[in-house]
């Protein structure tokens, strides 16, 4: 009994750290280079305006785990030339946020995304607005959309939909135990160890950019899995048009969880699945990243036309997730035009 009590005390003393948003003290707002949240937290913001006048569309882009807003610098440059304005901010716990290195919780990440989306939409009334997310950012986008973030479509690049059940009971139990006993320990190998891209320039940035968060705490990884659980559930309730992109060389988000998520996503004639045979996790920063980025611009311009790269015509992963979950068991008759 004493041992059990001691273990309980140890676990409670070492519970995963979560640093959520505080209570509201002001109205949230955007400045030229900041998103200032209702609790007063100031998060760095970058904006890449559309070239040559008013934007044809606007994207709010959310970065992945360990990354920060400049993950979107290269794609945003291409989108600018296509008449698209891109906004990106450092999510709490990452980049230049004041709580860097601490997990903010799914609710806080999602509330920030919903708030920034509303602020950006208000700044560009009447302009088509899209939510884009890479990896963890894709998970935040899915949950934010499910919780009411309004947009004209979702761009999901290697979305983190690796829910807890796909890890297996042993790995899941191990993560829970260590996150509750040694939450301050590094989570293990970094994404670099899993070849996130074939682009040496991108790898160099991951290794040397001081704003990248390397060796995150175990409790941050634990929080990420909670987010991915919610994202997987939200995938079944997508109401907006979406472009789901995945690189078949991705070693960070395996094919099986992505296939399972796709099978429950509502098939829509204005939505696409795009699989890149030579693509890795950081699709838009791979050597072939410009082609992926151009696909996004093309889809925003016309949801139903074939993508310039032809990635939406490839029946893979496997056979386009069993032809999109057999069209959700016959409940939807519309098929992607590439079929």
User: Which domain covers residue 88, as residue numbers?
Assistant: 28-330
In a domain, 335, yes or no: no
Q: Please check the confidence at residue 9 and state whether its pLDDT lies above 60.
A: no
Give a yes or no: residue 292 inside a domain: yes
Whether 77 shows a pLDDT value over 80: the answer reads yes
Q: Is residue 185 part of a domain?
A: yes
Residue 14 in domain: no
- Residue 2: both structure tokens together: 């004493």
What local confidence, expressed as pLDDT, does residue 1 receive? 45
Predicted pLDDT of residue 50: 98
Residue 157, classed as helix, strand or coil, is strand
Residue 9 in domain = no
- Quote the number of domains for the chain: 1
Does the pTM exceed 0.75?
yes
Tens digits of residue pLDDT in 172-217: 655 556 456 665 455 555 555 679 999 999 999 999 999 999 889 9
Q: What is the pLDDT of residues 248-297, one digit of tens each?
A: 999 999 999 999 999 999 999 999 999 999 999 999 999 999 999 999 99
pLDDT at 12 (0 to 100):
46
- Residue 172 belongs to domain with CATH number: 3.40.50.1820
Q: Does residue 62 have a pLDDT over 80? A: yes
Residue 127 domain-assigned (yes or no): yes
188-197 contacts at long range (C-beta below 8 A, 24 or more positions apart) = 188/221, 190/66, 190/214, 190/215, 191/65, 191/66, 191/252, 191/281, 194/251, 194/252, 194/281, 195/249, 195/251, 195/280, 196/251, 196/252, 196/280, 196/281, 196/282, 197/280, 197/281, 197/282, 197/285, 197/286
Q: How far apart are the C-alpha atoms of 124 and 85, rounded to whole Å?
A: 10
End-to-end CA distance of the chain: 63
Among 60, 76, 73, which residue's Cα sits nearest to residue 112? 60
In a domain, 93, yes or no: yes
Distance CA 13, CA 25 (A): 30
Mean pLDDT of 33-52: 97
Are the C-beta atoms of residues 62 and 88 closer than 8 Å to each other?
A: yes
Query: What is the residue whose two structure tokens read 């949801």?
Result: 303
336 located within any domain: no
How far, in Å, CA of 216 to CA of 213, rounded? 7
* Contact call for residues 106 and 136 (beta carbons, < 8 A): no
pLDDT of 183 reads 54
């Amino acid at each position: 009994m004493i041992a059990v009590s001691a273990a309980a005390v140890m676990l409670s003393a070492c519970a995963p750290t979560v640093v959520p948003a505080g209570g509201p003290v002001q109205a949230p707002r955007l400045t030229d280079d900041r998103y200032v949240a209702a609790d007063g937290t100031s998060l760095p913001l970058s904006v890449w305006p559309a070239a040559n006048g008013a934007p044809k569309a606007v994207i709010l882009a959310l970065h992945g785990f360990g990354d920060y807003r400049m993950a979107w610098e290269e794609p945003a440059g291409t989108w600018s030339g296509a008449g698209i304005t891109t906004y990106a901010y450092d999510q709490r716990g990452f980049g230049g946020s004041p709580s860097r290195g601490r997990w903010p919780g799914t609710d806080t990440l999602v509330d920030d995304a919903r708030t920034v989306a509303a602020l950006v939409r208000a700044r560009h009334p009447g302009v088509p607005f899209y939510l884009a997310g890479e990896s963890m950012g894709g998970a935040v986008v899915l949950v934010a959309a499910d919780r009411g973030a309004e947009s004209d479509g979702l761009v999901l690049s290697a979305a983190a939909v690796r829910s807890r059940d796909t890890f297996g009971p042993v790995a899941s139990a191990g993560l829970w135990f260590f996150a509750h006993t040694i939450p301050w320990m590094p989570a293990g190998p970094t994404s670099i160890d899993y070849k996130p891209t074939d682009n040496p320039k991108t790898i160099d940035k991951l290794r040397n950019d001081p704003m990248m968060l390397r060796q995150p705490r175990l409790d941050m990884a634990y929080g990420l899995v909670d987010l991915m659980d919610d994202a997987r559930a939200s995938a079944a309730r997508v109401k907006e048009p979406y472009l789901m992109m995945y690189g078949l060389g991705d070693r960070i988000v395996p094919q099986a969880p992505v296939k399972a998520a796709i099978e429950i996503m509502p098939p829509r004639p204005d939505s696409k699945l795009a699989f890149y045979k030579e693509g890795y996790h950081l699709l838009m920063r791979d050597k072939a990243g410009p082609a992926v980025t151009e696909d996004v611009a093309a889809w925003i311009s016309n949801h139903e036309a074939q993508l310039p790269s032809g990635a939406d015509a490839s029946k893979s992963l496997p056979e386009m997730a069993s032809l999109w979950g057999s069209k959700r068991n016959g409940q939807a008759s519309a098929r992607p035009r590439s079929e």
